[in-house]
Amino acid sequence: MSVPRKLPTDSGSEWLAGAMWDHVEGCLEPLSEIQETELEIILRVDIPCVKRKEDISVKLTEDSATIEAEMEKVIQYEKWGTFQRQARFFRYSKTFLLPSKIDPEFSKARFKNKVLELRLPKKERHFTVNVD
Partner 1 sequence: MTFSIDGMSIYETGLMESQNPVILCGLPDIGLVGIIAVSHIIKETGMEEVGYIDSDLFPPVVVFHHGEPKYPIRIFQKGNLIALFTETALSPESLSPLSKLIVKWAKDKGASLLVSIGGIGVPNRIDLESPKVYGAATSLPMRESIKNLGIPLMEEGFLVGPYALISKESKVESVLNLLLLAESFPQYPDPGAAANVILELKKFAPMDVGVKSLTERSEEIRMNARELMRKTTENMQKMGKSQEYELPMMYL
What are the residues binding partner 1 (CB under 8 A)? 20, 28, 30-33, 35, 44, 46, 48-49, 75, 82, 112-115, 117
Work out how close the CB of 127 gets to partner 1 at its nearest, in angstroms, rounded to a whole number: 27
Instruction: Give which of 69, 68, 88, 70 is closest to 78, Cα–Cα.
Output: 88
User: Which residue number, 6 or 73, has a Cβ lying nearer to partner 1?
Assistant: 73
User: Which residue number, 102 or 111, has a Cβ lying nearer to partner 1?
Assistant: 111
User: Which residue number, 60 or 71, has a Cβ lying nearer to partner 1?
Assistant: 71
Beta-carbon-side half-sphere exposure of residue 12 (alpha carbons within 13 Å): 1
Work out how close the CB of 78 gets to partner 1 at its nearest, in angstroms, rounded to a whole number: 14
The number of beta carbons lying within 10 Å of the beta carbon of residue 5 is: 17
Distance (Å, whole) CA 54 – CA 56: 5
Work out how close the CB of 31 gets to partner 1 at its nearest, in angstroms, rounded to a whole number: 5
Work out how close the CB of 69 gets to partner 1 at its nearest, in angstroms, rounded to a whole number: 13
Instruction: Give which of 52, 39, 55 is closest to 119, Cα–Cα.
Output: 39
